[in-house]
Amino acid sequence: MTTRRTTRKIKVGNAFIGGDAPVLIQTMAATKTFDVDATVATVDYLAQSGAGLVRIAVDSINDAKALAEIRKQTTANLSVDLQENFRLAELVAPNVDKIRYNPGHLHHLEPNLAWEKKVEYLVDVAKEFDVALRVGVNCGSLDPTKLAKYRDQLANGDAGAQENDEAAAVFDPLLESALEHVDFLDSVGFTRYCVSIKDSDPETVVLVNRRFAALRPQIPLHLGVTEAGAPPRGVLKSRLALETLLAEGIGETLRVSLTVEANQKAKEVEAGRLILENVASGNVIDPSTRLPNLNIVSCPSCSRVQNGRFVELARTLEKATEFAKDYPFKIATMGCRVNGPGETDDADVGLWCGADKVNLKSGSTTIGSFGYDEIIEKAVELLQEKIRLYDQQAK
């Protein structure tokens, strides 16, 4: 194992990220935030299982009110995502230790206000309430201006300026967004933050985090493969990316995002411990290990999932499509609206789940909306048609 790089050290509750602090394992509660008793019990259980930081979803004022009660009943370190509503920061900040904002979501609210002003507001809130920030860049919800630029580059045959154009075409908008935001945070004198740059492809995660670490070596990195899927595939994907990076000394905190039931979220912590143990012992997975050609992604369960059948649906679809494992297609099963539309836009077969219906997509085209009892059959039919056309073109 390469000696870990030395980054800034930031305080998050009673824990630290970066510097000489050990790698911090994170996870996320999947109970409904307004169910205070269930969420407190889950948070405490996850903390006792080894999570140094537990994230809770807060999407509304009611969630923020529930968070205040949760804070009173637990001493665990807490984090929240702001998602589309950056103005929730001032409501949640008094009751958490870290706030994660996504550059790709800042445009949703007050679109005429410059993103720099929105980040300045977040910095002011973070300073006032003594909390850390995470800049969370995600492939499923990229800054629309960066995504448009990326698509224009592809259309013009210019995939980017890196040595490997194919790789650059994938991670240029991710990297550019992360660099832009960290440079702005530094320019306004705020350094109590870490960065995550996540993709559902392990190779892209390695490439983009390796590049960011070289360009901004002082900034702590939170590692993860987004929408890694259900175990064991999700653990394998995460090992491929995280063990590779950690073995190179890159990464100060991590989360293994798995599609599991709300009462099984400790599996994320267990997988995180396994990864750290493997790196410490030198027993890391071979980076050249190949995944099946069929790329299956599904988001981790969280409180935003509107139907508890989502996890079962994702597992069932994975089994039902094993026949296509040698085909270079992508299947994406998303549990809610946050990353659902974006992550399914580039999937050959995309499902994003509502309360009673599941939207079936082929790329950005919506095929239809179907019940949970019929969606598997419809998705398999779509995949079979994709295979038929693929085989026909291959002849």
- CB contact at 8 A, 67 and 80: yes
pLDDT given for residue 338 in this prediction? 65
Q: How far apart are CA 205 and CA 195, in angstroms?
A: 13
Per-residue pLDDT 10s for the chain (395 aa) are 568 899 999 999 999 999 999 999 999 999 999 999 999 999 999 999 999 999 999 988 999 999 999 999 999 999 998 888 999 999 999 999 999 999 999 998 999 999 999 999 999 999 999 999 999 999 878 877 777 777 676 666 654 444 444 445 457 889 999 999 999 999 999 999 999 999 989 999 999 999 999 999 999 999 999 999 999 999 999 999 999 999 999 999 999 999 999 899 999 999 999 999 999 999 999 999 999 999 999 988 777 777 888 999 999 999 999 999 999 999 999 887 666 676 788 899 999 898 899 999 999 899 999 999 999 999 999 999 999 999 999 87
For the entire predicted model, the pTM comes to: 0.92
As a whole number of Å, the CA-based R_g of the chain is: 20
Directed axis angle between helix 233-247 and helix 202-215, to 10°? 20
| Helix, strand, or coil (residue 320) | helix
pLDDT given for residue 305 in this prediction? 79
Q: How far apart are CA 363 and CA 327, in angstroms?
A: 16
The CATH 3.30.413.10 domain(s) of the chain lie at 295-394
The DSSP output letter for 21 is S
The CATH 3.20.20.20 domain(s) of the chain lie at 9-281
Beta-bridge mates of residue 359 = 352, 369
b/e map 179-211, b = 16+ CB within 10 Å: bbbbebbeeeebebbbbbbbbbbbbbbbbbbeb
- CB contact at 8 A, 197 and 181: no
Directed axis angle between helix 115-129 and helix 165-187, to 10°? 60
| Helix, strand, or coil (residue 170) | helix
In terms of DSSP bridges, do strands 78-81 and 193-198 run parallel, antiparallel, or are they unpaired?
unpaired
pLDDT given for residue 161 in this prediction? 42
pLDDT given for residue 175 in this prediction? 93
Domain formed by 9-281, architecture: Alpha-Beta Barrel (3.20)
Question: Is the domain defined by 295-394 classed in CATH 3.40.50.2300?
Answer: no
What is the token pair recorded at 392? 């026909």
pLDDT given for residue 2 in this prediction? 67
pLDDT given for residue 157 in this prediction? 61
b/e map 313-336, b = 16+ CB within 10 Å: bbbbbbeebeebeebebbbbbbbb
The DSSP output letter for 264 is G
